Amino acid sequence: MSGKGELLRLVALGQAESRAELARLSGLAPSSVSLRVEELIDAGLLQEEGSGLSTGGRRPRRLRLAPEAGLLLVADLGSHHARLGLVDLSGTPLAVVEHACDIGAGAEQTLDWLAGRLEELLAASGGGLPVRGVGVGIPGPVDPAGGTVISPSRMPGWNEYPVRDHLAARFGVPILVENDANLMAAGEYLAWPGCENLMVLKAGTGIGCGIIAGGRLHRGRGAAGDISHVRVRSDQSVICSCGHSDCLEAYASGAAMMAALAEQGIEVEHPASIAALAADGVPQATNLVRGAGRLIGEVLTALVNFFNPDAVLIGGSLSAAEQLIAAVRGAVYERCLPLATRDLKIEVTRAGPNAAILGAGSLLLDVVLAGGWVEEAVGRA
Ligand SMILES: [Zn+2]
């Protein structure tokens, strides 16, 4: 990233609010920082106003993003609903809406529908400000190099679909396409200061896991954190959506539990209803979530020993089931190395329903800055 993009990033993320802080964090000479800050102000990307904390000498003026610097459009696609956000370049949500949606309708139809809803959200904000980037979370494996979906479960018509290219053609700005659990992890990371190594589990219709290693999202080549098709011990033999038998997902996902409840004559339409039934003490639901938590915990045992994170954070609609969290804790604390669990937190996520929106905003800013937009804006000014 160029000097100017990096300076804008430091201000956008709240890490610097004066020229002196920018010089310290960027390692650039104060005179170089001042020159670049002037260019960013002239280009309408930064504002400088008021006075920051006095450091004894001159009062530093406070830098912040100019509202005209622009906006980001982000969306978190789920199996049955989509959460859409309009966020500023610092990742702060300005408006968030939720719509029912059916990703089973296929890639092109779903993405065109989604683009239309994002344009509505932008128009409802009054419009006028430029959109700098669009970010979308997908509930399936995403190849980060090509922005394509690779062999997803329960997403007919999406395999190898060029999501990034499709959205780029529609919006004409840099596009981020990311696995939904990765977005949740990136957003959740912001809510756990001091924790640089996290496993963030998304337990909903499917099971996903995002990994933060050394303060950064670890994607591997796209599949990192995908624990849903790890084989688990079982008395039965259940065929998974991937075609193999006895995957974690075939027992512990919301989809699997909804099917198991239906076999017992209990119809639910959403995984959140399973958590609600368990909270009400409905024994079939309680058994299922406890069993799911135990299986998830057994899979996590190996991963916690191997990765030794600061925290395992569980989100998604099933995280409301206390029995599931308790069973995960029980399995992990029982079987992991004492050194791995001594300071380990196993908690419900903190960032709330906007976690993926926040994560998309923070990841998308880097994509946008890497696209060279700041240099173009400064060049035009
Ligand atoms: Zn499977």
pLDDT tens by residue, 351-366 = 999 999 999 999 999 9
pLDDT tens, residue by residue, 149-166: 998 888 999 999 999 999
Cα–ligand 1 centroid distance for 89 (angstroms)? 38
Segment 201-211, tens digit of pLDDT: 999 999 999 99
pLDDT band at 55 (very low <50, low <70, confident <90, very high): low
Closest CA to 90 of 315, 349, 357: 357
Q: Residue 59: its pLDDT value, please?
A: 60
Could you tell me the distance, in angstroms and rounded to a whole number, from the CA of residue 246 to the centre of ligand 1?
Answer: 7
Rounded to 5°, the CA angle 289-290-295 comes to: 95
In the reported structure, the alpha carbon of residue 153 is separated from the centroid of ligand 1 by a whole-number distance in angstroms of 9
Q: b/e string for 199-220 if b means 16 or more Cβ within 10 A?
A: bbbbbbbbbbbbbbeeeebbbe
Strand partners, 315: 202
In the reported structure, the alpha carbon of residue 249 is separated from the centroid of ligand 1 by a whole-number distance in angstroms of: 6
278: left (phi over 0), alpha (psi -120 to 50) or beta: alpha
Task: Please give the distance, rounded to the nearest whole angstrom, from the Cα atom of residue 163 to the centre of ligand 1.
Answer: 23
Distance of CA 206 from the midpoint of ligand 1 (Å): 11
Reported as a single tens digit per residue, the pLDDT across 169-181 is 999 999 999 999 9
C-alpha 355 to ligand 1 mean position (Å): 26
How many angstroms is it from 220 CA to the middle of ligand 1? 20
CB 46 within 8 A of CB 65: yes
70-185+355-380 matches 192-350 in fold = yes
CA distance 198 to 303: 11
Ligand 1 centroid – CA 245 distance (Å): 7
Cα-to-centroid distance, 285 and ligand 1 (Å): 22
When the candidates are 3.30.300.30, 3.40.1030.10, 3.60.15.10, 3.30.420.40, the CATH number that belongs to 70-185+355-380 is: 3.30.420.40
Could you give phi then psi for residue 337, rounded to 5 degrees? Answer: -60, 140
Residues 295-352: tens digit of each pLDDT:
999 999 999 999 999 999 999 999 999 999 999 999 999 999 999 999 999 999 999 9
Is residue 127's pLDDT more than 90?
Answer: no
Report whether pLDDT(52) > 70: no
Q: How far is the CA of 151 from the centre of ligand 1 (A)?
A: 11
pLDDT at 133: 97
Kindly give the distance from the C-alpha atom of residue 175 to the centroid of ligand 1, in angstroms, as a whole number.
29
- Pure H helices in the chain: 3-12, 19-26, 30-42, 107-124, 163-171, 180-189, 248-252, 254-263, 271-279, 283-307, 322-335, 338-341, 355-370, 373-380
In this prediction, residue 372 has a pLDDT band, given cuts at 50, 70 and 90, of confident
Q: How far is the CA of 231 from the centre of ligand 1 (A)?
A: 8
The pair of three-digit structure tokens given for residue 348, joined into one six-digit string: 């419900």
Instruction: Give the chain's mean pLDDT.
Output: 93
Distance 155 CA to ligand 1 centre (A): 14
| Lowest-pLDDT choice from 54-68, 220-234, 333-347 | 54-68
Domain boundaries of the chain, sorted by first residue = 3-68, 70-185+355-380, 192-350
Residues of the chain above pLDDT 90, percent: 84
What is the distance in A from the centroid of ligand 1 to the CA of 247? 5
Q: Separation of 65 CA from ligand 1 center, angstroms? A: 45
Q: Report how far ligand 1's centroid is from the alpha carbon of 360 (Å).
A: 27
pLDDT at 236: 84
Going from the Cα of 320 to the center of ligand 1, the distance in angstroms, rounded, reads: 24
Residues above pLDDT 70, as percent of the chain: 97
CA of 59 to the centre of ligand 1 (A): 60
Does the structure show a pLDDT above 60 at 281?
Answer: yes
pLDDT of residue 43: 92
3-68 maps to CATH 1.10.10.10: yes
Cα distance between residue 224 and residue 39, in whole Å: 40
Strand 93-100 relative to strand 148-149, pairing: unpaired
Q: How far is the CA of 16 from the centre of ligand 1 (A)?
A: 45
The rounded Å distance from CA 228 to ligand 1 centre is: 6
What is the reported pLDDT for 231? Answer: 95
How far is the centre of ligand 1, averaged over its atoms, from the C-alpha of 244 (Å)? 5
Residue 58: pLDDT above 70?
A: no
260 CA distance to ligand 1 centroid (A)? 16
Distance 341 CA to ligand 1 centre (A): 28
Assess if CATH 3.40.50.2020 describes domain 192-350: no
Ligand 1: centre distance to CA 227 (Å): 9
